[in-house]
Amino acid sequence: CFCQLSGQIDDCFCDIETLEKFNNEQVFPLVSQLVKRDFFRYYKVNMFKPCNYFDGDIGFCESESCGVKPCSEEDLPVGLRNGNFNKHTPDTEDVECNKPKKSISDINGTLSNVTIDFLDRWDKHDDTVHQFCDIDDESSIELQYIDLIANPERYTGYKGPMAWRIWRAIYEENCFISGGGGTTAEENDGKRLKFSHSDLQGMCLEKRVFYRVISGLHTSINTHLSAKYLFEVIHIQIDGWGERRWEANLAEFQRRFDKDVTKGEGTARLKNLYFIYLLELRALSKAAEYFNRGNVVLFTGRDKEDVKTKEMLTQLLDLTKKFPMHFDEGVMFQDKNSRGLKREFVQRFLNVTRIIDCVTCEKCRLWGKLQTQGLGTALKVLFSAKEMNGKSDSPFQLIRQEVVSLINAFARLSESIKSLEMFRAMIKDTRNNG
Ligand code: FAD
């Protein structure tokens, strides 16, 4: 069975049982450990890029769960500290910071030089794609390392109009869909999104793929927050603070995905989760050779740690190649209009990544950035066959940020699929108990 992109609205949807078994039994146990290794644990990111998408007040997430704590130099493995590339032994001296360089990711509402350069090159080599995301200058002082384990993705309380506005901008302005107008004053005021899966009918393949990967990402985020939901104060302790627990919330999951509650939309959204998983899985299997040729140095300065990380990554990449139902990107961008469509596809994806800078919950922004960058990197891999095979004069390259986001983003999807198993078991228990 091959994952066919066939012209059906449910394209690429064959055998869920095989996919879940493959993920839950083989991929998840490996990738969930891999992202705990130092190389993948510390993500370098510019958390404070300006929001150029909305005018005026963009709101503020008041919940303390929204906060993110960046790493200080001492928290980092020695090889990741400023200027320490290639240092193997722990460094006890104070590290002198590099003189800041100008960041190339200055977007200011217009395309960065990198993007323009890339689009120009793409015009010349019509069947090649390089960047779906703005690339940050990794030596810029605007970037900070974040420990992803210390700042896990989970329920933060970011919701309502602030969050809807982001999703609405992503879908209606960038996902090639137009069915946005709500039916109530509140909906028309730009809050809720009114779009159903059946609106995909009649859309061309590439636009449908775009919508489905974004929707799959949305499903994944909402599955995580349902799986790690904040149960507020359980009992007041002596110091006046309540106990906080993050646990699975079945009611929250059902509200979003139960087919009866959502009139079938939830099921379609879950299918989109499998869809984006297959796309990223395919990208990893294609990137395997690039990684295996030693193009990516997994360096943290701790030799044993780095050897183990390399071993696990190789194992994961080998595994991805064994999956029997791969996504077939080869049928995309094949017809006579594909040149313009490709360009639009990249431009819209870049817009989506920039809208994330307007998310006012820091934790959501961090994981939103990481997962969209990971998805952008997967798309770059899928549509850069020529460069990866050395058949183009523009060489293929992945920087550390892209590698870290690619693996972490895939790990998030893998965990989402794994948690569906847990929610199913909870539903069964509830039924059995009455
Ligand atoms: P929303 O999820 O806000 O959805 C808005 C509308 O989009 C819905 O009414 C529905 O019509 C449509 N919709 C919903 N799901 C899909 C789908 N899969 N496909 C297509 N359409 C859909 N909250 C946290 O607690 N923790 C986080 O880490 C977190 N990260 C976020 C990251 C980003 C980038 C954004 C924009 C939001 C994040 N949120 C997070 C907020 C969360 O996604 C929801 O917006 C919030 O929980 C409110 O949910 P809701 O039920 O009102 O609908």
- Cα of 100 vs centre of ligand 1, distance in Å, is 36
pLDDT band at 12 (very low <50, low <70, confident <90, very high): low
Ligand 1 atom closest to the Cα of residue 163 is 45
Higher-confidence residue of 54 and 159: namely 159
pLDDT tens digits, 174-222 = 777 654 444 444 444 444 555 667 777 677 778 888 899 999 999 999 9
What tokens were used for 386?
A: 């020529």
pLDDT band at 236 (very low <50, low <70, confident <90, very high): low
pLDDT band at 243 (very low <50, low <70, confident <90, very high): confident
As a whole number of angstroms, the distance between CA 356 and CA 348 comes to 13
- Cα of 406 vs centre of ligand 1, distance in Å, is 22
Q: Give pLDDT, residue 314.
A: 96
Task: Please say if the pLDDT value at position 36 is more than 50.
Answer: yes
Nearest-10 crossing angle of helices 205-227, 362-382: 140
Ligand 1 atom closest to the Cα of residue 217 is 18
CB distance 226 to 415 below 8 Å: no
CB distance 104 to 111 below 8 Å: no
216 within ligand 1 shell (Cβ under 6 A): no
Q: Give pLDDT, residue 138.
A: 78
Q: Which of 251, 269, 63, 218 is nearest to 155 (CA)?
A: 63
158 within ligand 1 shell (Cβ under 6 A): yes
pLDDT tens digits, 378-403 = 999 998 877 887 777 778 889 999 99
What tokens were used for 233?
A: 């104060």
228 within ligand 1 shell (Cβ under 6 A): no
Higher-confidence residue of 123 and 55: namely 55
For the segment 72-84, the average pLDDT, to the nearest whole number, is 85
CB distance 366 to 143 below 8 Å: no
Angstrom CA distances, 279 to 6, 86, 320, 393, stand at 15, 34, 11, 26
Q: Could you give the percent of the chain with pLDDT greater than 90?
A: 45
Nearest CA to ligand 1 atom 5: 164
> Residue 102 half-sphere exposure, CB side, CA atoms within 13 Å?
5
Q: Give pLDDT, residue 55.
A: 74
- Cα of 222 vs centre of ligand 1, distance in Å, is 6
CB distance 301 to 78 below 8 Å: yes
Q: Give pLDDT, residue 118.
A: 45
As a whole number of angstroms, the distance between CA 292 and CA 304 comes to 19
Q: For residue 287, give the amino acid letter.
A: A
Q: For residue 20, give the amino acid letter.
A: E
Q: Give pLDDT, residue 125.
A: 39
Task: Please say if the pLDDT value at position 84 is more than 50.
Answer: yes
Residue 215: burial class (beta carbons within 10 Å; 0-12, 13-18, 19+): buried
CB distance 235 to 242 below 8 Å: yes
Q: Give pLDDT, residue 96.
A: 30
193 within ligand 1 shell (Cβ under 6 A): yes
Ligand 1 atom closest to the Cα of residue 215 is 19
Mean pLDDT of all residues belonging to the chain:
80
- Cα of 126 vs centre of ligand 1, distance in Å, is 35
| From 26-35, 79-88, 285-294, 354-363, the region with the lowest mean pLDDT | 79-88
As a whole number of angstroms, the distance between CA 367 and CA 356 comes to 10
Nearest CA to ligand 1 atom 48: 159
ipTM of the complex: 0.99
166 within ligand 1 shell (Cβ under 6 A): yes
Ligand 1 atom closest to the Cα of residue 214 is 19
Q: Give pLDDT, residue 101.
A: 28
Give the phi and the psi of residue 57 in degrees, each rounded to 5: -65, 125
- Counting other chains too, the contacts that 247-251 makes at CB distance below 8 Å and 24 or more residues apart are 248/419, 248/422, 248/423, 248/426, 249/155, 250/423, 250/426, 250/427, 250/430
359 within ligand 1 shell (Cβ under 6 A): yes
pTM score, whole prediction: 0.86
Bridge partners for 231 per DSSP = 245
| From 43-57, 66-80, 411-425, the region with the lowest mean pLDDT | 43-57
